[in-house]
Amino acid sequence: MVRSRCHGQWGCRLMEALRQTIRRQTEAADPEASVWVSANAGTGKTHVLTQRVIRLLLNGTAPEKILCLTFTKAAAAEMAKRLFDTLGRWATCPDDELIEALENATGEALTRDVLSPARRLFAQALDTPGGLKIQTIHAFCERLLRRFPLEARVPPHFGVLDERTTAELLDKAAARVRDGSTDDQEDHVARALDVIVERIDETRFRDLLKEIAGKRSRLNRLLTDHGGVSGAAAFVAEQLGLMPGETEQTIAQAAVRDILTRMNELEDAAGILAGGSKTDKQRGAIIKAFFKSSDPVDVFDDYVNAFLKKDHEPQVKLLTNALRDNHPEIESLLYDEQGRIFDCYQRIKAARILAATHAVLTIAASFLDIYEQEKSLRAGLDYDDLILRTRDLITKSSSGAWVLYKLDGGIDHILVDEAQDTSPEQWEVITALAEEFFSGLGAHADRSPDVVRTMFAVGDEKQSIYSFQGADPEKFHEMREMFYQRSRAADQTWHSVDLDLSFRSTADILAVVDGIFTDMAVARSLTPSGDIIPHTPKRIGAAGLVELWPIVKPPDIPEPQPWDAPLDQQPYDSPRVVLARNITETIAQWLDRGELLESQGRPIRPGDIMIL
């Protein structure tokens, strides 16, 4: 046995961190347990995933019973490569070397009886019909829909739309909405367009449609959950504290009726204000004009301005000191009126928000309907459709139970990579697939009682970067708790594993990341508990530097004149151009003066630089 010696305090701490990491990685690969791994960047997530698949195979799991879901095709290819490289070495390496590799993988002392089964794993994995299921969730959903097209109500010959085709169809749908060229432009859509164009110009309207396209999955979920546009608008109204049927007009009318009940007192106050300063006289004149108007609703906004500032916050002083001292009776009257007006205006703002939101939802529904028509003409499904149709197939359709029964005999272990970027809809698919894992023998009565079925996920809330695709880092914590409770209720083994030893980044960089999350408000933005795993660097002593550059703000640009020619090229001083110029100039300075790359003891080369 070779014993490692540590040198100095940091050396001993690093050796202990390495030993602890190996123990945790071995625990995470336990084939008899469901495991949830929270892993910092550079701590070996892919290694742990690969080791777990290997441990499952060593434990006798048939390759076709394992489903490993990765976030990207590149990650799936990398994991498959590592797996087959390892199994390929095992097939040909000397016995002593294989025994050592197996003992390192399992953390147990083994006999030579395991050698022959381990050497056969490479061939077994290659001979598995369809290959080992290491794929993206979109690829898995596509295969499932092709297997059950009628049950999923999709064309049997459907094609998957690539990003370019999807973008073209979205642009086409946006143009039809914008130009009013739908097959039957309905009145409510036209009215919604009128509401929107009163608030934004054509450029911002295009941006709005792009945002709708980018968040179409969330919008579809909102519309579906609330039964369409009217139901979603009613939900928004409830969140804004508005009563059913309340609008800006009805709120103003109710406010006017209420004000008229105090007409005598307020007219008296207006008369007193007329004897004050210029500001007092202006306020008094507005109040008098309101009560003299044949339709006070028409001048309600003027009346509001007598009590609120331009930003619609309460005015600090409603009468000068001299008037207040001589007529203290009107001070409380005016400030009470101000309070009522301010509360009323908050409801009017809420009603305006509701009207704009209702218009946006109406346009979004029309836009998404047109997009669906365009896809149907091509028998196409986009990437969101693959997830949503699969979810509906196994959770909402009448055939769902039968589909899950067919799948229940084919999957015993699910592994999820980059769990922090898994969207709620994707989790619904995964949860449905794993439903029977914690229900005894599952749907198949002929399943051996000795078969343990497991759920495994690995991720890091701090690395969640796909919120624009619906990812929610809080879901990582929520799903961990849900699967833990199910595992516990089924009396199954559960491991919650934290990996903190970073093999990638230097101590300086990791210290900055940890420093950011010492702010509990920032930490709780990722996970309800605010428990963020701090980093332990392996590259102790390696050079590292973090520079924070000031944000490049757009310059003040004068409004273009109608006769100005439109320019497609970015202005020279646009933030993107300025930032690009700053980056290129900095790199040029590094290369020109031979900036030292301390970790390598040589000048920086172009190949050392990555721009993300």
Q: Are the C-beta atoms of residues 305 and 286 closer than 8 Å to each other?
A: yes
Beta bridge partners, 133, equal 67
Distance (Å, whole) CA 402 – CA 414: 20
Distance (Å, whole) CA 232 – CA 361: 8
What torsion, rounded to 10 degrees, do the Cα atoms 365, 368, 374, 379 define? -110
- For 498, phi then psi, to 5°, come to -110, 130
At residue 328, what is the residue type? P
* Residue 546 region by backbone torsions, left for phi larger than 0, else alpha for psi between -120 and 50, else beta: beta
Distance (Å, whole) CA 285 – CA 123: 93
Residue 531 is predicted with a pLDDT of 76
More confident residue, 568 or 500: 500
DSSP 467-502: GGGT--HHHHHHHHHHHHHHHHHTT--EEEEEE-EE
At residue 28, what is the residue type? A
Residue 583 is predicted with a pLDDT of 94
Per-residue pLDDT reduced to its tens digit, 166-195:
989 988 988 888 776 554 556 888 889 888
Separation of CA 598 from chain center: 38
Q: Largest alpha-carbon pair distance within the chain?
A: 107
Distance (Å, whole) CA 16 – CA 18: 5
Q: E-strand spans in 560-611?
A: 596-597, 602-603
Q: Are the C-beta atoms of residues 393 and 403 closer than 8 Å to each other?
A: yes
Residues 6+ apart with CB under 8 A from 272: 284, 323, 327, 330
Residue 467 is predicted with a pLDDT of 64
Sign of the C-alpha dihedral, residues 535, 536, 537, 538?
A: negative
Distance (Å, whole) CA 46 – CA 39: 10
In terms of C-beta density within 10 A (0-12 exposed, 13-18 middle, 19 or more buried), how is residue 210 classed? middle
* Residue 357 region by backbone torsions, left for phi larger than 0, else alpha for psi between -120 and 50, else beta: alpha
Per-residue pLDDT reduced to its tens digit, 329-382:
899 999 999 999 999 999 999 999 999 999 999 999 999 999 999 999 999 999
Of 199-203, 286-290, 561-565, which gets the smallest average pLDDT?
561-565
- For 522, phi then psi, to 5°, come to -70, -45
Tell which residue, 367, 360, 348, has the closest CA to residue 194: 360
DSSP 35-92: EEEEE-TTS-HHHHHHHHHHHHHHTT--GGGEEEEESSHHHHHHHHHHHHHHHHHHHH
Pairing of strands 501-506, 536-539: parallel
Give the CA radius of gyration of the chain.
Answer: 33
Report, as an integer, the average pLDDT of 424-442.
Answer: 84
Of 223-227, 559-563, 590-594, which gets the smallest average pLDDT?
559-563
- For 574, phi then psi, to 5°, come to -65, 150
Whether residue 557 has pLDDT greater than 70? no
Whether residue 444 has pLDDT greater than 50? no
Distance (Å, whole) CA 44 – CA 51: 10
Helix intervals (H) in 293-328: 300-305, 321-326
More confident residue, 274 or 461: 274
Report, as an integer, the average pLDDT of 582-588.
Answer: 94
| Overall pTM > 0.95 | no
Q: Which residue has the tokens 């979920």?
A: 221
Whether residue 564 has pLDDT greater than 70? no
Residue 443 is predicted with a pLDDT of 42
Q: Are the C-beta atoms of residues 182 and 176 closer than 8 Å to each other?
A: yes
Q: Give the three-state DSSP class for 545.
A: coil
Residue 155 is predicted with a pLDDT of 94
Stated length of the chain: 612
- For 602, phi then psi, to 5°, come to -150, 165
Beta bridge partners, 456, equal 35, 415
Q: Are the C-beta atoms of residues 463 and 40 closer than 8 Å to each other?
A: no
Distances (CA, A) of 61 to 31, 110, 161, 451: 9, 19, 35, 9
Per-residue pLDDT reduced to its tens digit, 266-293:
999 999 999 889 999 999 999 999 999 9
What's the mean pLDDT when you consider all of the chain? 86
Residue 430 is predicted with a pLDDT of 94
Tell which residue, 413, 414, 407, has the closest CA to residue 443: 407
